[in-house]
Structure 1
Amino acid sequence: MRVTRRSAFVSLTAAALLVLAGCSGDAPASTDRVESTPDEQVESSAPATDEASQETGEVALGSVGFVADDILPTVYATLVNSTLDVVMVEVNYAAYDAAGAVLGTTVSYDVIASETTSQTATYISVPDGSAIAKVDAQVTVSDSQPDAHPDIAMTAGNITILADEWSTKVTGTIDSTYTQSVTNVAAAAICTDAAGTVVAAGSTYLSGTVVPGTPAPFDISLTAASVPTACTVTAGVSNISEGS
């Protein structure tokens, strides 16, 4: 079974991962563009604050931010699905300089279970020598399907932050309560310093297959303004996942 980016959709069921071709999305999404909140000490946004975005019955952005880097700047967002549907969403980002000029855009594709807050992070390409002053983002629901089994989930554990002079990453394991094994599971990390400011973010697709009841290892390379002290990691099926 395969989920393509636009023509099919994953339905999270206890029996299988179903593919729904041409399903129309009924779950509403906020159309507002949400801006990052720059921090004075590091070039990243303030910590996620989802409460303001949890409007009943819609999919919304809880927070948006970026972590600056000379080579691989990263944008990130928290996604709040307060509907009873499993949804596939597009998150469209734009990065701006201090004068308001657009430096670059990018998009991520995410699957979010019902009544769940998820995370997403992706690299954004900007011109050499430019400096991102802010980012904003907009979420659009591509497809939706009633979530018949909201009790199944993937959760991160054994979270460990590893850093040296060359790189920063977060490792750990993903536990699944699905009834099927799943490939191409997406995991995203948003990490903070001791003051609670976001200083690192990143994402990956897990290698191999996530098997129910067997912890699956993950390794997420981070774009980091400094070494974080804590990371929140979310995981779930992606738009390229396969179930067996």
Structure 2
Amino acid sequence: MVRLVITDFPTKEDCEAFYMKDEFEESQHMFVYRKFKKNNVYLSRYDNDEIYSLNLLSRKYLLKNQFLIYVADEEYIILFNHKTVYSAKINQNFLIDDTIKSILITKHIAMLSSGGSIENIYYIINSKYKSAKENILKENTKNERNEVVAKSLGEIEELIKPLNELTTYKTHFFKLSSLLFTFCFSFWIIFYGLELFADKLSQQQSLELLNRELNVEKRIIKREKTILAKNNIEYKKMIGCISTIKVKND
């Protein structure tokens, strides 16, 4: 299952306070790099989802000063200009009035701080009752002209395709080791392996040529032996036909 998380928490404690279900749960450090900048999050060690950064997803698909809402089963997050401005836990079965109010208030504050208007509210819904939540969000975030401004950014499975998945140090070092091994092996193949292979192939071809010549000679020798044996048989037959004649002297 795919999960989007916030990777711009100011502290580890803030992150764990939002994502850990209880104080005794063990967390793991996950991260991903973007232009040599590390994006971090602390999640449950027993979380087996595919984890991606919501902030980096926003940077990938939206321009500056854009509004993005992410609704999951247990939380909803509001981003403005790719930064987290509001996050809270929710009931996974429905969007409550307080959620809509916080969205509208955050939108108003973002408009005031940016000095402009926000024409569209983009959203990603990754939870149960998606269609119902979409309708609630669209109906309750209309502008002054009663126009629907909430627009889906897309399906989460398609949105994550160009993104790098968050990883742990163990997995990260394993990937780096695999990449280093592949690079070294490719380097060895290019500068040494091909030459050794060519020499071995040349030796093999020479050996095969000698074997073919040896086989030809063996066949010639065998054929000569067969001819010799046949001639010996014919010779003995001819000798057997000649009677012994004694010559007497007068």
For the aligned pair, the TM-score class normalised by the smaller chain equals: under 0.3
Question: Which structure is higher in helix share?
Answer: 2
TM-score, length basis structure 2: 0.21
**Higher RCO (C-alpha 8 Å, min separation 6):** 1
Question: Which structure is higher in strand share?
Answer: 1
Whose radius of gyration is greater, 1 or 2? Answer: 2
TM-score, length basis structure 1: 0.22
